[in-house]
């Protein structure tokens, strides 16, 4: 991570675990009259550490990074200072990633194969209070919305909502491979109670055994 000297320009922090990409953006903004890169790091925690002690107007962040990812970091950034603009720049172009990033509070989503002009346009939109997504990202979101209206997705959503908080707690321990005895010990409940919850979970998920249950949970992100 590195600090710059304040010059009155809008201050940018870049978070990406690929140094060549960071260096490319630093070079881009070094030529710009309105922006300057005053800090950079390789994950979300680096962003939080920096903005807690330094003024930042804009954060440009990757999504997938070691440690804290861009989605989680964006939530924290917005809770610390909602006025900081967050632009995601990523190779990931799937609905789930884009949706989660925007839902976390990102002010724009730009694919890494886009040009510098598009990134600068995203910054302008964000600073004007608008969320920036180009046609490609818009198409991804529309297709994802249509898919999420399918009967199977609705069924998964209904199952997720039907599980009680205790059942979700036990389900998480089952996925981690804990036995009935271990679950009972950890939650301070009896083994028969664990067995009853396990039976109810299997029924709600419409699966026959623990192996099928774990696969079902992982495939459908049931514990999100």
Read off the pLDDT of residues 172-210 as tens digits, 9 standing for 90 and up: 999 989 999 999 999 999 999 999 999 999 999 999 999
Exposure class string for 183-204: b at 16+ Cβ within 10 A, else e: bbeebeeeeeebeebbebbbeb
Give me the numbers of helices (H) and strands (E) for the chain, helices first please: 11, 6
Are 68 and 43 contacting, i.e. CB atoms less than 8 angstroms apart? yes
| Superfamily in which the 10-146 domain is placed by CATH | Response regulator (3.40.50.2300)
Are 24 and 60 contacting, i.e. CB atoms less than 8 angstroms apart? no
Report the predicted TM-score, pTM, of the whole model to 2 decimal places: 0.63
Ramachandran region of residue 106, left (φ > 0), alpha (ψ -120 to 50) or beta? beta
pLDDT for residue 20: 95
* Cα(160)–Cα(148) distance, integer angstroms: 14
Q: What values do phi and psi take at 59, rounded to 5? A: -115, 125
Q: Which two tokens stand for residue 65?
A: 């990074």
pLDDT for residue 123: 95
What is the CATH architecture of 151-220? Answer: Orthogonal Bundle (1.10)
* Cα(27)–Cα(55) distance, integer angstroms: 21
Q: What is the DSSP letter of 220?
A: H
Residue 108 pLDDT greater than 60, yes or no: yes
The confidence band for 135, taking pLDDT boundaries of 50, 70 and 90, is confident
How is the chain split into domains, by residue range? 10-146, 151-220
Strand, coil or helix: 109: strand
Q: What values do phi and psi take at 190, rounded to 5? A: -80, 160
């Amino acid at each position: 991570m590195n600090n710059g000297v304040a010059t009155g320009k809008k201050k940018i922090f870049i978070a990406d675990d690929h140094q060549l990409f960071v260096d490319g953006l630093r070079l881009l903004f070094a030529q710009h009259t309105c922006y300057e890169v005053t800090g950079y790091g390789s994950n979300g925690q680096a962003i939080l550490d920096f903005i807690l002690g330094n003024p930042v107007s804009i954060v440009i962040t990757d999504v997938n990074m070691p440690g804290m990812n861009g989605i989680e970091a964006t939530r924290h950034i917005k809770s610390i200072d909602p006025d900081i603009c967050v632009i995601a720049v990523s190779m990931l172009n799937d609905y789930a990633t884009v949706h989660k990033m925007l839902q976390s509070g990102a002010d724009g989503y730009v694919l890494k194969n886009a040009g510098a002009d598009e990134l600068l346009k995203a910054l302008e939109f964000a600073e004007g209070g608008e969320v920036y997504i180009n046609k490609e990202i818009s198409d991804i979101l529309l297709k994802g919305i249509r898919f999420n209206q399918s009967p199977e997705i609705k069924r998964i959503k209904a199952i997720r909502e039907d599980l009680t908080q205790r059942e979700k707690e036990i389900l998480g321990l089952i996925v981690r491979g804990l036995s009935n005895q271990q679950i009972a010990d950890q939650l301070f409940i009896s083994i028969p109670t664990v067995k009853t919850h396990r039976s109810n979970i299997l029924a709600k998920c419409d699966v026959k055994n623990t192996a099928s249950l774990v696969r079902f949970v992982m495939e459908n992100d049931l514990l999100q």
